[in-house]
Amino acid sequence: MTQPILILVPGLMCDDSSWGPVLPALSAHMPCRVVSHGNADSLVTMAQQILESAPAQFNLAGHSMGGRVALEVLRLAPERVLRLGLLGTGFLPKEAGTAGEEEVKKRQVLLDIAHHQGIRQMALTWVQNMVAPSRLNDAALIEDIVQMFERKSEEVFQRQIKALLERPDASDVLAHVQVPTLVMAGEFDAWASPQQHQQIADLVPARPTVDVVAGAGHMMMMEKPEAVTASFLNWLS
């Protein structure tokens, strides 16, 4: 019997490099594919693109924005997803009122930096909150993340920010998940806290595995690949 493929979905401005440190071990266990969002400007479009090129059934894991895309895949075609992994992500739509306005302002600051100073400067600003504080002096790690962002254009950044600001509420999707699910957060994730991932897990009736990656921030796969790999292999078994 053919081993089902594991489709890995990257986050905002990320590509296969974000999954690179865990890919060798995962690929030894099963076939893996990292998708690209191309020029899509909505999470639903990103999900549709995955379904168009995916086999009839597959395992699915998404990081950050990719986790939200994975939930839209599940909304569109729940019968095709065998296992679900959600890493460093969220499920709620943009808040109404002042909180939502603040999110828009924060994202606009980054868009403005990208426009006026370039993607690299935006990435150098953003990365300060994307890794554990202890890794901010890890020049090689920081440069890997910054270069990954630099491979995307300002236009792609604008489209993906639009997709996030218009994100659907995925509470109803989580409430109907019936497949083995892994919910994973970095201990020091300033974007998507372990508490937020516990809220995700609490909505899933299939009793998911909840793992907090010690010593990691938002970019857990690049910061602590051994711990992430171990959790994945446990989930996939």
pLDDT value at residue 1: 60
Read out DSSP for 152-173?
S-HHHHHHHHHHHHTPPP-HHH
Number of domains in the chain: 1
pLDDT value at residue 69: 98
Residue 175: count other Cβ atoms within 10 Å of its Cβ: 10
Average pLDDT (20-38) is 96
Q: Which CATH number is 23's domain given?
A: 3.40.50.1820
137-193 residue pLDDT tens = 999 999 999 999 999 999 999 999 999 999 999 999 999 999 999 999 999 998 899
Q: How many C-alpha atoms does 52 have within 13 Å on its Cβ side? A: 9
* pLDDT, the chain, mean: 96
Q: Which domain holds residue 83?
A: 1-237
Contacts of 233 (CB under 8 A, 6+ apart): 25, 26, 29
97-153 residue pLDDT tens = 999 999 999 999 999 999 999 999 999 999 999 999 999 999 999 999 999 999 999
Helices (H), the chain: 16-19, 23-29, 43-53, 65-76, 97-117, 119-126, 139-150, 154-165, 171-174, 194-203, 220-223, 225-236
Closest Cα partner for 212 from 228, 232, 229, 225? 228
CA distance 228 to 32: 15
